[in-house]
Structure 1
Amino acid sequence: MEQVLRNGKRGHKGRAKQFTNPDEIDAQMKAEKEKARDQPENESDSDSSEDDLEPKKKGVEGLIEIENPNRVVQKNKKITALDLNPPNRELSRREREEIEKQQARERYMKLHLEGKTEQARADLARLAIIRKQREDAAKKRESEKKGKEAKA
């Protein structure tokens, strides 16, 4: 057979492609299904439990033990093993200052409500002056009303 030349090169050198007959594919699928049915389920369960305990190693990992400090191994923790009350850690300077500021604010508000701060005293004095003025104005209006009623 003479091959067609393209751009001065010979054509395809490899083997001709072979296609699998659809009947053969069906036969292979049936054989695999029967094989899967024949395997007892207990064996597959024990295999899966072994896989859960130890992850499958890739490549040459299983042959050579490597200590890589940068490699992070993901460890799954059980909920029962989790510590719900972790030990108290040192607070950072910012956190400590924020807590102190909050406590100082609460102390000031408590003293302010009791009337022991300078600002509270000033506010109470101002309120007393305003009450006195309102009382005087009310008395004046009352006397004017009586004066008008007396004239009428």
Structure 2
Amino acid sequence: MRGKRSHKGKTRFFTAPEELDRQIGRKVEDDTLQHDDFSPSTSNKAAPGSSQTSDTSGEDDEGPDEVHHKGMSHLIEVCNPNQGAAVIDDGPSRKEIEAAARAVADPLKLKSEVELASDLARLALVRKEREQAALKREQEKQARDAAREAAAQRAQAKLQALRQKGKPGQHKRAAAKDPTKKVSDGVQTTDSCAVTADAH
């Protein structure tokens, strides 16, 4: 590695934009001075027999604005974004403005007429389904209440029948002792009880 050296570790030097402008200005001045030295008008100045007044009139004909360039550098435009001053944008971006407007605006205004119509149709369907579900729940509640009321009435009727017959088991004992004898509380013989039991 004696003969070859890597250039990666070297520090790099950058020239400030102001310094570049000064150097470019000097180069332009030097170019114009050198160009004027080699131009035919200067050779005419040096020619014998010419007066100073004629030389000054010749320079006025060319015009001071005309600059003679050397090479191709005047044809190439250099656009270096780092040379110009940085543009500072203090205002919010377009996306931020639109997001803020959307946040403040009414959400219904953002939707199109087709979307609004579909939303209203969907809401009508949901409302109808909810009404049907509420009606169904009400009918089920009424059916449960009616079933509960019927069960309570049946239980009350059974209780009443048991009270009229007396204690349970007393009727069977009396019938077992004498099948032809009538039992108290308006119940006939065991044969009629069997018939009424079959009827139920």
Query: Normalised by the size of structure 1, how large is the TM-score?
Result: 0.37
Higher Rg of the two aligned structures: 2
Greater relative contact order (Cα < 8 A, sep 6+):
2
